[in-house]
Amino acid sequence: MSKSHRVALVTGGTVGIGAAIAEALQAAGYRVAVNYARNAGTAQAFAQRTGIPCFAWNVADADACSSGLAQVQAQLGAVEVLVNNAGITRDAMLHKMKPEQWREVIDVDLGGCFHMCRAVIEGMRERRFGRIINISSVNAATGQAGQTNYAAAKAGMIGFTKSLALEGASRNITANAIAPGYTDTAMVAAVNPEVLAHILQSVPAGRLATPAEIARGVVFLADDEAGFVNGITLHINGGKYLG
C-alpha cells in the first residue's frame, strides 16, 4: 500500500514535537490526524495552517481513546501508524511530590500509551500491518532530579514498547520508541534559564534539538520499509546519552 493510503495518528500533535511529527508525516505522504486535550484555539490554528484534522480527547481516559479513534477512522480510514507523543510534566522533588502529581503524569504519559495502543492493536492485527512509535525521553535513561514521575513513565514506555514489539512481530506490526533529548519547545523554554544552561553543558552538541530532527526519526520508523526495525529505542539527543 502506498503512503498516500496510510493513515497516521499523532497524539499531542498540535504543538512542539507532536506538531513537527504530524507535518513531517504529512510531507512524507501520509494522511494525518492529530489528537489534543486542551487549548482548542491552538488546535484550530494548527488545522487551518496545515489542513490536518484535529480531534479532542484525553488519552488518560480509555473510553475517550476508543471513541476518539472511532471518530478518526470514520473520517480518514483505519489508523495504521500510531505515534504516542502526548505527555505532560508535573515536576517536583520526590519529598515534595503530591500523589496527584504522580498519578497525573503516569496516567497521561504511560497510561495514554497503553490506552491508544489497546485501541488500535486489534485492527492492526487483523490487517497484518502496523507501525507504533512511542515518544519517550532521554530522562528515561539518565534520570532527572525533580522528575521521578516523568522519568518513571517514560522508562515504562520503553519496556512496554519492547514487549509489544514481540507480540506484534509475526503480524508485521512494529513497535519502537524514540527518546528525544532536550528539544526547542515551549516545555523546555519554561525551564529555569540557569537550569537550562547547566543542561546544555551536558550535551556534547552544545544545543537543543529542533522538533524537526525528532520528527525525521518518526518518519523513518513509520515507513513500510522499516519492517525489520522492531523493539528499539532510537536516541536522538546530541550525544547526551549514548545508549
Q: Would strands 130-135 and 173-180 be described as parallel, antiparallel, or unpaired? A: parallel
Q: What are phi and psi for residue 118, nearest 5 degrees?
A: -65, -35
Closest to 241 (Cα-Cα) out of 215, 209, 203: 203
Closest to 220 (Cα-Cα) out of 210, 202, 207, 232: 232
Cell of 213: 530532527
* DSSP-based three-state secondary structure for 111: helix
| Whole-Å CA distances, 67 to 64, 131, 160, 199 | 5, 20, 23, 40
Catalytic residue list contains 150: yes
Q: What are phi and psi for residue 236, nearest 5 degrees?
A: -120, 90
Hey, what amino acid is at 205?
A: A
Under 8 Å between Cβ of 12 and 175: no
Residues in the chain: 243
Active-site residue, from 30, 150, 182, 241: 150
Burial of 149 (0-12, 13-18, 19+ CB in 10 A): buried
Q: Give the number of other CB atoms < 10 A from CB of residue 1.
A: 9
Beta bridge partners of 236: 180
Cell of 158: 520503553
Q: Could you list the active site residues? A: 150
